[in-house]
Amino acid sequence: MKADLNHDALRRFILKAAGAAALTMHFSFLPQELMASGLKSSRSLKGNSNLENWIQIDERGLVTIFTGKVEFGQGIGTALVQIAADELDVAIEKINLIVPDTDISPDEGYTVGSQSVQLSGMAMRQVSAEVRRILLERAASIFQVPIDKLSVADGVISDGSQKITYGQLISIKGDVVGNYKQVTVAKKAADRKISGRSMGRLDIPCKVFAEGAYLHDMRLPGMLHARVVRPVSQGGRLIAVDITSVIKMPGVKKIIQDGSFLAVVAEREEQAIAAAENLSETAVWSELQDLPDQDSLKFFIMSHPETEREILVDMGQEEISTDTKTYEACYFRPYQAHAPVGPSIGVAHWDNGRLKVWSHTQGPYPLKREISSFLSLPEEKIRVIHKGGSGCYGHNPADDAALEAAIIACNMPGIPIRLQWMRQEEFKWEPYGSAMVMDVRASMNKDGSIENWNYNVHGFPHSSRPSGKGGSLLATRYVSGNRKVTPPRRIPSKTGGLDRNARPYYDFKRQKITKNFIEKSPLRTSALRSLGAYANVFAVESFMDELAHQTGQDPVRFRLRHLKDERAKAVIKKVAEMAEWQEEREASEHMAFGRGIAFSRYKNIGGYLAVCVALNVDSRNGQITVSDIYAAVDCGEIINPDGALNQIEGGLLQALSWTLYEEVNFEIHKIISEDWVTYPILTHDRVPKLHVHLVDMPDAPPLGAGEVAQGPLPAAVANALYQATGKRFRELPIIEQK
């Protein structure tokens, strides 16, 4: 199988740039290392146990690896190549990675939750080790020697006097087939030569040199361009439309109307845009005034009549001492947007009774099932191929654009359809990160310890991803036929959506945690990077800081005294050391200096991160200038340190942008935020210096790095602002403070 790009040339460039051109591997195999590992198999292997679904080797010894996890800038593709190269003892240049394609790739569900290395990476490690074992058994049989007499270097097996390549073994005995049986031990950390070393990202050169890396760049023979015309109100319905003049416009090929779903197709993109604008002027829509008053959104959430309450933790309440002092606070997070640099896009082609869809979805297989259900097409007639987009950070409208392209393509057989959203559509119609309210109360005993913790989180769904029922995506609401909208997915409390990280990681013997869930959100919501963890950690860590100061304790020592996990303590101590926590700083005449710290373990089972923010506040205009961010991170084994660093730094900056600027603004009948002016973000001139320390844990299981930074950052900012101004900031975004 061939990839779309010249990966061999790309890898040569990467390796040269990274100074790693001569990676060769040699590893001797001992009998005990071929025994069962006893380790739990990666969840990705369930239902994907066929070895050839993961790895194929040709007669030249070139290795093709397959994954169901998508590359959207997080670096998973590079990490998977590193893992496979290590376990197979094959040079990186000989490995080709195939992007997710539902015709040929394993079904690994969604690429979410900082779990790609944990799941797909560990599956690739296990499968690669087993494929290597099978090839060694073949060589041992041919050489008539015990396996422990063999060694491997760059895909060449030797017993000291005889040699045979992987390619020759394949030529002699055929493909490596069969089911994964977990009978092979992967290499120990000390024996890995590639994993754990920084390597240039394989997906970067084609992006830098504009070699068609993005779906936006894709052009197919005979392809037409489409645009969807949408109402002003989120729930608006099409009353009437006059297509007479639009159908005569240059390049216009077709206008599609299905209920309130209205789209135009043209030869060129600019023609489609012009026609859509003209069509929008002639369309008459109903307008609904069903959004709450934004200024009272916090009250709207807390007093919603359809709230479902679920007590997640209830322990020790009857034992609370009366000799305590109680403190309480309430925190707020607004609706926030994914806001990718490039708007969402989908390409679809209905030809010869089969639908092919290209999408930058996070879940090719779930999207396939959703399209199948929506269009009443058998799944075997649909193929979804992943191709990169310009940004993701959760469930943005990539799936919506893909389904809309598919709807139009099925109305125009034999013609590839490219449908790209406009900037205003992206902001106004995407599924936002949920608004949330967190109220917390704690009782402190005389020795300065937390006696009791009572926490309530209120908010809306955090996932409306494709469910396979045909009712999850935007088009469902507008096509004819009274289609039923699928209720948002309820994420199990073990990992949590609304309640992600609502349970504090601290050792509170007496606590009560309550989730107050509202299924119907006024604005459409779904997964935004870290889901509820961003707001919950903001509340927990801001309140921890308040309690420390209320009782005259150092915020660092206060956190340490309430923790048992030594890895958690280690990152807090490390970041305090990095930021010179004990050092005093003098404020200038107009500038107040502040420094704040925060910590969390993502989902309470993932990576650990402690962060310290240093900032200044100008007393003349309230302008906040974050000068430095320090972070200490323990995410277990790190495959590519440079890639992990990219993830942490990007997460810190995105969280800083959310914290200081980002909020979806709306009126009672429409969304106001529609561009970078009405939805401001962190700009280049406001980017602080970043200081990140990655804890080296090569023998520990990988814990994920993609979302660990989101939660602690806003609390660290708020805590630093308290030190600078003496005020507590409990509502996001903070923007400027006068």
Report which of 166, 209, 156, 167 is spatially closest to residue 14, judged by C-alpha positions: 209
- Residue 10 scores a pLDDT above 60: no
Confidence (pLDDT) at 9 = 42
Surface-to-core class of residue 416, CB atoms within 10 Å of its CB (0-12 exposed, 13-18 middle, 19+ buried): buried
Instruction: Please give the torsion angle defined by the CA atoms of residues 139, 142, 147 and 148, in that order, rounded to the nearest 10 degrees.
Output: -100
3-state secondary structure 501-551: CCCCCCCCCCEEEEEEECCCCCCCECCECCCCHHHHHHHHHHHHHHHHHHC
Domains and CATH numbers, the chain: 7-208 (3.30.365.10), 294-335+432-517 (3.30.365)
Beta bridge partners of 350: 355
Q: What letter represents residue 431's amino acid?
A: P
Phi, psi (degrees; rounded to nearest 5) at 224: -110, 160
Decide: 507 and 569 in contact? Cβ < 8 Å: no
3-state DSSP call for residue 242?
coil
Would you state the structure tokens that stand for residue 619, as one six-digit string?
Answer: 């007393």
CB 83 within 8 A of CB 66: no
Tokens found for residue 635: 């995410």
Query: What pLDDT does 481 receive?
Result: 82
* Average pLDDT in the chain: 90
Q: Which stretches does DSSP call E strand in 409-461?
A: 417-420, 436-444, 450-459
Nearest to 643 by CA among 694, 699, 568: 694
Assigned token pair, 277: 């604008």
Question: Would you say residue 207 has pLDDT above 70?
Answer: yes
Model pLDDT for residues 237-278, shown as the tens digit of each residue: 999 999 999 999 999 999 999 999 999 999 999 999 999 999
CA distance 416 to 410: 10
Query: What's the rounded Cα separation, in Å, for the pair 62 and 84?
Result: 12
Record the tokens describing residue 250, joined without a space: 């240059």
Closest CA to 399 of 373, 424, 370, 427: 370
Kindly report, residue by residue over 449-494, the tens digit of the pLDDT. 999 999 999 999 999 999 888 899 999 999 988 788 898 888 887 7
586, 584, 558: which is closest to 572 by C-alpha?
Answer: 558
pLDDT at position 22 is 27
pLDDT in tens, 52-99: 899 999 999 999 999 999 988 888 999 999 999 999 999 999 999 998
pLDDT digits (tens, 9 = 90+) for 141-190: 999 999 999 999 999 999 999 999 999 999 888 788 777 776 678 889 99
- β-pairing verdict for 511-517 and 450-459: parallel
pLDDT digits (tens, 9 = 90+) for 523-537: 999 999 999 999 999
- Using the predicted structure, report yes or no on whether residue 320 has a pLDDT greater than 70: no
Residue 733, preceding peptide bond in cis (omega within 30° of 0): yes
What per-residue confidence (pLDDT) applies to 736?
63
Average pLDDT over residues 340-366: 96
**CB atoms closer than 10 angstroms to residue 32:** 8
Residue-wise pLDDT for 588-647, tens only, equals 778 899 999 999 999 999 999 999 999 999 988 889 999 999 999 999 999 999 999 999
Instruction: Report percent pLDDT > 70 for the chain.
Output: 93
